[in-house]
Amino acid sequence: MVCPLTPRNPHHQADRIPGSRTSSNIILRKYHGARFQGPQYWLGFAEGIRLACLVEYRLKQQIATLEEELARSKQENMDQKEELQKLNQKLHLQEPLLNVGVKICRRFLEKAKMKRGLGNAVESIVEAGNAAAHRGNIFADSALFTLGILRSTDSISPGGGSTEIEDNYRSLGRDLYGVNIIHSLPSSFSTKAAEIYNLSATITSCSTMKPGGYSGTDVRHRRFNELAAKCAKLDTVMGRRIIRPIRIKAEVFRCI
C-alpha cells in the first residue's frame, strides 16, 4: 500500500505543493520527495509538523501582544501630548500674572531698601510696580477667572457659595473693561486693542461715580472715544475687524 503522502512521481504537477510561507508547508516541501522509510520516520515527520505549528502559534501570540503594546503606547503618547498642551496653555495664562507679581515685589524691595537706608530706590522699578498695581491689565485679570484663582471657600454673605467672589469680580471686570474678560485670552486681542481695554479700565477705576446725568460733551470723553473708534477700525483681531469699539461713559471723565 502506498502512503498518500508519498509522491507517485516527483515531477508530476499534481504532487507539487504550492509555495507557502507557513512553517508546516516548509517542512512538507523538505520531505516531499522522500519515500516511505518506516514508522519512526513518519513519527519524526509528524513531530516536526507539530513543533512547526506550535512555533507559528506562539509567534502569532507574540505579534498580537506586540500590537497591543504598540496601540497602548500610541494612546499613552497621545494622552501625554494632550497633557503637555494643557500645561503649556496654563503656563501661557500664568505669564501675565507672573509679570504683575514680579513688578510689585520688586517695587516693594526698592521702597524697603530706601527706607532702610541701603540706597536710593530705582525709580523705573518703582514706577513699573505702581503701574502693575494700579493700572488695568486685561490678560492678568482674565487669567484669574480662567485659572479658577478667584474661587474660594470663603464667601461675602452667608450661604454665598464658592463662586460668589468670582461672580462679583466678573461683574466688576465687565464694568471696568467693557467686555467679558473671562474670554479675553492673549490670543483674542492684538497689542493695540489690549492697550485700549487696559486704558479704559484704568480710567474707569480712578473715577468716582456720582448720581446725575451728563450730556457727554466733555472734551476728554469725546476725544478718547474717537481715538478708540479709530483704532478699532484700523485693528484686526483673529482675522476679523473689531465690531464694537470701546466707549467710556462721560461721567467717568467728569469725576476723575
**55 falls within a domain:** yes
CA–CA gap between residue 87 and residue 81 (Å, rounded): 10
CA–CA gap between residue 151 and residue 102 (Å, rounded): 23
Looking at the structure, do residues 119 and 88 belong to the same domain, yes or no?
A: yes
**155 falls within a domain:** no
Place of cell 500500500: 1
Sign of CA dihedral 129, 135, 140, 141: positive
**Using one digit for the tens of pLDDT, what is the confidence trace for 225-237?**
666 666 656 554 4
Looking at the structure, do residues 128 and 87 belong to the same domain, yes or no?
A: yes
CA atoms within 13 A on the CB side of 55: 11
pLDDT, residue 42, reads 59
**46 falls within a domain:** yes
Indicate the pTM of the whole model: 0.56
**Using one digit for the tens of pLDDT, what is the confidence trace for 69-88?**
999 999 999 999 999 988 88
248 contact partners, CB below 8 Å, separation of at least 6? 178, 200, 203, 204, 221, 224, 225
**102 falls within a domain:** yes
| The three cell numbers locating residue 96 | 501675565
Residue 254: count of CB within 10 angstroms of its CB: 16
**185 falls within a domain:** no
| The three cell numbers locating residue 154 | 470663603
Which range of residues forms the domain containing residue 128?
Answer: 81-134
CA–CA gap between residue 104 and residue 126 (Å, rounded): 8
27 contact partners, CB below 8 Å, separation of at least 6? 45, 48, 49, 52
Structural contact between residues 200 and 191, judged by C-beta atoms closer than 8 angstroms: no
Looking at the structure, do residues 86 and 127 belong to the same domain, yes or no?
A: yes
**117 falls within a domain:** yes
Q: Classify residue 130 by its DSSP letter.
A: H
**Using one digit for the tens of pLDDT, what is the confidence trace for 168-183?**
788 888 888 877 777 6
- Reported as type and span, the H/E element at residue 77 is helix 39-115
Mean pLDDT of 42-66: 82
Number of domains composing the chain: 2
Check whether 19 has a pLDDT greater than 50. Answer: no
**196 falls within a domain:** no
**209 falls within a domain:** no
Nearest to 78 by CA among 153, 142, 86, 134: 86
